[in-house]
A and B are shown apart, each in its own frame.
Chain A
């Protein structure tokens, strides 16, 4: 009897473990599979130079994704962060002295002043998101959709269809320089990921974020100031977006309208592909890191193999779809497990 039931029980436990870790395992397996595939398909993929490339190109997305992780963990969404990034990047260039050929009536200030004003600007936009959601009661999807337009509007008013090039030297340093071969922008990304992880995992605020996402009503009935937490994550998201926007402008070498539009879907994809639950309360920066790697490897790897460049867009869409299916599927598995133990 015993010899028969013991392995069976262990099997059940192992299966339960696999089921409960599905959202963490699946993205990791995806990443490994993609790396192996591209390494075999292209000799130029798995080189130190190329890995550095991948890291650098995912930095701008990554910094945004850190803030977005907070928002999605609360079971909310931010659609405005790319527009806020764009507006902040343009703002910091707007307050910097430009070359004579730039045809924008801008306001040149000292570098430090420009950075502070731009950051205040993005924090104010995040704060407006927070007020709209918590005081007025607008759902985040709609509120940030409006903010997306407002951000685009600010960009349009500042540059009026022109392009700005110069940014403060501090921003330029962070966005373009390297220390010992490592791009500073990658170090900034690492810093944001690290701080994000520490805040989410080891602080009281981080715990509240998970609890509000896990069961908002229960958090409120436990005496947690839910609106304060929701407001705070929107401001955090805007701050990350703003920083990312400034560094992005330095990295790309120009500040213009619609520069960051593609990053909206990229950052959302990274967070969700990584396995952070769209229903809130599960996931974290670790998942976001994996998600960023999957996206970075995919975007980069597709350039290394012989493939119709128009097909790449479709492939990325399919990968995102598969990740969403796994995300929802993992959520259901989880719900079943909880229910079956009642």
Chain B
């Protein structure tokens, strides 16, 4: 009751607190995710939220968005105490969230997605014309020029994200929570998103912006809040802080060297004399990519960089036999091969980690079964040998510093970063010839990214050929010894044995 008067008293000098969270605690199965956290969101501000994986920022936002309903503490919306029982409740109260995993319907049209669940009707029938025109108008206001009849799934991820954002905005949300909105976007798309967000802010709405990209956070936010270990450690207005201060708050002192900016020159340690392990010859697949010829060498990390939708993800799948090429072929150690399925690629010594953990891991199964699945054929012929599997898993868990170090623990109970390491571990029990990693550090905090860099370099130094495919320049720059750039399905540039910087890489794409 006191807080009601308190929060409105500030109104004369500063924007009003639209949302106030007081003493929020939340635990999952006895593990505290949030401990006595206060949080305040003002009217017409962009509030950046940063913290390592598992720091509690997503949990906090899911409480606000009505996804998590059991918690202790008070939530005040416009000074009135509220408690949401579902995401629907939150949406009705004007709080919308765009999750990292988009909730679009890929088989429906753009217009249908924009109007999902509230199609305009005339005489009880869906008014398609009004829907198409309305969707087009709304999207154009956000600077998105797209045919409303296009199928959602056929559009680039960046565009899908903006369309989902449009849906949340036009659903009447006054508080919009964006979880990692820029991780799949190319720089021009990010700029467009920021223009849109500034417009939204100007209309008096409040935005929460969760991201690992500190440059993005600092560019768009008015205020930044930092979470660490389930607690809020700092909240500061943006002009007063810089990147190194934020990193310091996120992970404690003395870790500034973890985050390199890659704006300076980086020397590529290419090995042109090393033997070629895998090569592609004029590889092509539908509209995804054409005429791709590249060579992967032993003991070298090949980075393939391109904006989202430039064909690099499909190319990585083609190397693993998941996508069948229409033309061209693969050559492994001089022998042409043609993979009918992923099992053949695995037997030929190719390993692949896709960009999404969900498509790589078995959440209901213990860690050791996740680790052993890819090498089961080498561990046993007919009868399983669980003791051997667990032994192998224990070695990998130690080597990759996976926590908790219990191989019988269910995978679903691990944090995101540790799950990602398990996805990698399954290929390391037995040496593979070529390791293809698609977006190996997406959504990871700086500490976990550093672990991945160390692991990949270690494998390279043992003579493994590694391919890293990414739309994040930092990922490629931090890992690769040689970089090819893909643009609209073709290789447009190769950087080898020279120095390179982020802006040169972006320029080439």
Contact = CB atoms under 8 A, between A and B. Distances in A.
Interface string A203-247: 111111011001101111111111110000000000000000000
A340 interface: yes
Contact of A218 (B341, B360, B377, B384): B360
A99 interface: no
Contact of A207 (B58, B341, B369): B369
A217 B384 contact: no
B359 A224 contact: no
A12 interface: yes
Contacts of A311: none
A226 B359 CA distance: 14
Interface string B333-366: 0000000011101110001111000111111110
Interface residues of B, number: 43
A223 to B, nearest CB: 3
B413 interface: yes
A215 B377 contact: no
Q: Helix, strand, loop or mixed for chain A's interface?
A: helix
Given A334-B364, A338-B412, A341-B412, A222 B373 contact: yes
A202 interface: yes
Contacts of B320: 221
B365 A214 contact: yes
B362 A215 contact: yes
- A: interface residue count bin: 35 or more
Interface string B274-294: 000000000000000000000
B221 to A, nearest CB: 25
A342 B384 contact: no
Contact of B383 (A203, A208, A219, A281): A203
Interface string A326-342: 00000000100110111
Nearest to B70: A340
Contacts of A211: 362, 365, 369, 373
B22 to A, nearest CB: 23
A130 to B, nearest CB: 15
A204 B381 contact: yes
A93 to B, nearest CB: 36
B30 A12 contact: yes
Given A211-B365, A221-B353, A338-B364, 14 more contacts: A9-B30, A203-B383, A207-B373, A215-B359, A221-B359, A222-B342, A222-B346, A222-B374, A223-B346, A224-B343, A227-B341, A228-B343, A281-B364, A337-B29
15 contacts: A12-B30, A220-B342, A221-B352, A223-B342, A223-B345, A223-B346, A223-B351, A224-B342, A281-B364, A282-B364, A338-B363, A341-B31, A341-B414, A342-B58, A342-B416
Interface of A: 9, 12-13, 16, 202-208, 210-211, 214-215, 217-228, 281-282, 334, 337-338, 340-342
